[in-house]
Structure 1
Amino acid sequence: MDDHDLYPIGDAARRSGLSVSAVRFYADTGLIPPTALNEAGHRMYDIQAIARLELVRTLRELDTDLDEIRRLLDGGTTLHDLLTTHLEIVERQERTLRARRAVLRTLIKQGGTTAQADLMHKLVSMTDEERERTIDDFWNDVGQDLDVPEGFVDRLRAMRPVLPADPTAAQLEAWIELADLVSDPAFRDAVRTYLRDTYSPPEARLLATEPFQEFMHVSGATLMEELLAAQRAGQSPRSPGVQQAVIRFMEAAAGLSGTPLTPELRDRMADGYRQVPGLLRQIADEDAASGRPVYDSTHGRYLSLVALINGTPAEADHDPIPYAWIADAMRATS
């Protein structure tokens, strides 16, 4: 094939993958005129014109409109800019299709109604600002007149969902459920009741203070993870490294109440850790019997959905805490 060879419209159509009528249409609209006319007045195309026809076919398959193609062929834009723009369009369409898939899957699972379908479509179509406002409204309502230490609700609202730009179907389904829950007055009341019952009593208010929360979720969590790593590695609770780590943990815990780590306090901590599994079972049984809102169906459900949306491990995904092993480590300190 020579660059100066000319081909009749049928050959140009075959080489470009277009129909003859399409090649004729692009010529008639002035988009890609024939290179020349032969003696019989038939349209002839050189290899450059055929290459342009191939490009037009590709762009049309990407739903590029004719005005954009014309600007490209006339030099008003570059192929890179045009393709970049269309990649953004395709990615937005993909996100929309993912959202629709999540809505359809959720509706099928729930046997949803037309009204629910409309609601779910609105939920997944929210802007980032609208999502932020939805979560803020939830915590503003839950925290209103809640008798807990100052700053506690603000620390709770800091754990919030951030739907990624390219969410999975599971993340979208979690957002649909969460957005539906936080907009439900009954769920808001249940979360408020759980937080009030758990953190408002005088004997429990320490749990909601900033030092205790910082210890539980930051410094203490880091120290606890050090202990768990040692336990997973098969280290003895009496090994030097474990002993150093558990002493740091107990000193930090004792510091919450401003008391030194004495042998008596160490023994009480060890006894407490050994008793935790039984206490947890007792609390779970009492909660189930009371009929009151409980963690797993209130704040715990909120946190598990946030973890799924954010792609972070939920509490249930962590290894169980070896309370007896930690108690042995505490007892062994001198």
Structure 2
Amino acid sequence: MDGDTLYPIGMMAERTGLSVKTIRFYADTGVVSPTAHSPAGYRLYDDDALVRLQLVRTLRELGIDLPAIRHVLERTLSVSEVAAAHAEALEFQISTLRVRRTVLRAIAERGPTPEEMELMHKLVELSDAEKRRLISDFVEETFGGTDADPEFVELIRSAVPQLPDDPEPAQVRAWVELAELTRDPDFRASVRRMAEYQAAQRAEGDTTGLHHELTELVRDRVGRALASGIAPDSVAAEPIVEELRSAYAATFDRADDAELPGWLLARLEVAGDPRAERYWQLLAVINGWPVPPTLVPVFDWLGAALRAKP
């Protein structure tokens, strides 16, 4: 093309691959105006208009909307800026489509209840920020306004569920179950009791925080007893209970006296809701972490052993 030559709309359609109707639309909406008009009123275009129309076609094929394209053509936004923003939007769309695909697979594998279907639908529609807010609202209602163990509160606040870009059906099902669990008023009340118990213990001077070493000791000693078939009310259980009583007394700076078993049983009862453990297991599944083994049989055995001894 000669830079000084003007071309009719039909030739522009051949050069750009756009239809005459589309080029007219772009002219009428001010996206790419004709360079001039012939004496008969026909639209005429020059080389610069050709380049602009080719750019419009390319950007539209990439899914970029006309307002953004108009900003590019008006030089208020660069092509790279628009491309970067569009790439980010596509990443979100791809992530959403992957979750939808996984939800459909989960539905195909296991016919969900109507309630689960509704939750799956909501899960697809929720943004990452809205998913995180489900957990933050749960934590605020259960721990808010209490002087609970700050180390534990920080742990539960920071451990948020984050579905991967291409989740497995099991991760989607875990998210649905976690959403149900955190909305359960009875579970919220149970966790609230745990928070209030922690606050009461702190008011009495307990600042021990989390007790990973003590938990591992209980897991080891009681786990061996369970594996060996030692009944909690048997003579063989007594030295295990004595060792663990002593460990609890040392950890919490309490006397190993007649009041200790009652205090320990109350502690086990408050923390013994198996749904609390399920919460952490579901979180692990969603985030792809190792799923912690259950401690429910361990603490059930310890509680039974404490009650069995006069």
Asked if these proteins are the same fold (TM beyond 0.5), I'd say yes
Length-normalised TM-score, structure 1: 0.53
Is 1:168 matched with 2:166?
Answer: yes
Q: CA deviation at 1:25?
A: 1.8
User: Conserved in 2, the CA contact under 8 Å of 1:8 and 1:42?
Assistant: yes
Amino acid at match of 2:213: F
Corresponding residue of 1:61: 61
Distance 1:282 1:186, change over 3 A: farther
Amino acid at match of 2:85: T
Percent of paired sites with the same residue: 39
In the aligned structure 2, how far is the partner of 1:284 from the partner of 1:188? 33
Length-normalised TM-score, structure 2: 0.56
In the aligned structure 1, how far is the partner of 2:28 from the partner of 2:187? 64
In the aligned structure 1, how far is the partner of 2:273 from the partner of 2:73? 61
Amino acid at match of 1:176: V
User: Conserved in 1, the CA contact under 8 Å of 2:16 and 2:53?
Assistant: yes
Is 1:28 matched with 2:28?
Answer: yes
Amino acid at match of 1:131: L
Corresponding residue of 1:310: 287
Distance 1:303 1:273, change over 3 A: closer
User: Conserved in 2, the CA contact under 8 Å of 1:152 and 1:209?
Assistant: no
Is 1:279 matched with 2:252?
Answer: no
In the aligned structure 1, how far is the partner of 2:111 from the partner of 2:120? 13
User: Conserved in 2, the CA contact under 8 Å of 1:175 and 1:305?
Assistant: yes
Corresponding residue of 1:177: 177
In the aligned structure 2, how far is the partner of 1:167 from the partner of 1:138? 29
Amino acid at match of 1:163: Q
1:287-306: CA deviations, max 9, x gaps?
Answer: xxxxxxxx996444322221
Corresponding residue of 2:242: none
Distance 1:282 1:123, change over 3 A: farther
> Tell me, what secondary structure is at the counterpart of 2:101?
helix
Q: CA deviation at 1:139?
A: 4.9
1:1-334 to 2 correspondence within 5 Å? 3-4=3-4, 6-37=6-37, 42-123=42-123, 125=126, 127=130, 130-136=133-139, 139-140=142-143, 154=153, 157=156, 160-163=159-162, 167-170=165-168, 171-185=171-185, 210=208, 213-215=211-213, 276-277=223-224, 279-280=226-227, 282=229, 298-315=275-292
Gapped regions of structure 1 (runs ≥ 5): 196-207, 221-252, 254-271, 287-294, 317-334
Amino acid at match of 2:289: T
Distance 1:123 1:27, change over 3 A: closer
In the aligned structure 1, how far is the partner of 2:222 from the partner of 2:178? 35
Amino acid at match of 1:84: A
How many positions carry a matched residue from both structures? 242
User: Conserved in 2, the CA contact under 8 Å of 1:13 and 1:19?
Assistant: yes
